[in-house]
Amino acid sequence: MAVNFSEIKKWIPAPVVSHLRKISPNSIKLFGNYSNWSDALRQCDGYKTDEIIEATLDATQKVVSGQAVYSRDGELFDQIVYSWPVTSALMWVAAQHNGNLNILDFGGSFGSSYFQNKKFLANLRNIHWRIVEQAKVVELGTKFIANEEISFHREIKECLDEDVPDIVLLSGVLQYLENPFDLLSMISEYRVSFIVIDRTPFLVNPVKSYAKIQKVPKRLYPASYPCWLFSKSELINPMLAKGYHIVEEFDSLDDLTPEANWQGLILRYPSENLINQ
């Protein structure tokens, strides 16, 4: 049985949790310190993209067909593991738009967050859920997953130019981008009313962001790739300087290294058109 570090860390000392994390054969592990992305990338084995995508699609289709309850990162679960702050943010935003939810989900795979929260989305008046992903995911998602509420797209800028959403969701994605700071800067230029960041590692000690190598256990898929650990001020302060403010901060589901806390934030840009400013 896999060890749930997010639960046990509430009850036992941090050094013990850290030791269990290191020795667990089923855990994702992080190695090395690299000041830039390219140096970390040169030390990675990479991964077989098509195999991972197909496994993730298969897991999602099992959820859609009712054969499974919930999937995340290609792994099936017998119960939904909610990120309640994200669910609350979605409902809060919809409430301020008369029951309509217009969301851009960057790096949203085959709609894991959509299906995770589908029970709560069911009674909204209208849902426009756009996922921006790599080409193969867009191709397969459009063919097998898309419906009247959910669609798949390759370019975030094209989506923003076409229709600025009420909310952008960035769940477990910023740390796997070569230039996450540029992405946030670009999104902020469109003054999206709400930005929700989740499952993102912020360093415990306030130093400059750096990259590590993330290795995935073979039971999921053989892979290693760069992963940022962020200085929270370095990532978020440029957003605050552009007029956004932090509505709330919260702990996320992940817990991969004692160097960082996996957390989330809800950011808001003031708008006179929203209810309950």
pLDDT of residue 271: 74
Of 243, 140, 156, the closest CA to residue 191 belongs to 243
CA distance linking residue 219 with residue 217, whole number of Å: 5
Composition of the chain by helix, strand, coil, percent to 5: 35, 30, 35
**From the first residue on, what is the mean pLDDT of each consecutive set of 10 residues in the chain (277 residues)?**
45 42 60 94 80 87 90 85 96 97 97 95 97 96 96 97 97 96 97 97 92 82 87 97 97 89 96 53
β-pairing verdict for 194-203 and 260-268: antiparallel
Domains of the chain: 27-268 (3.40.50.150)
Q: Give me the pLDDT at residue 207, please.
A: 82
Cα(159)–Cα(139) distance, rounded to whole angstroms?
16
Note the pTM of the prediction, 2 decimals: 0.87
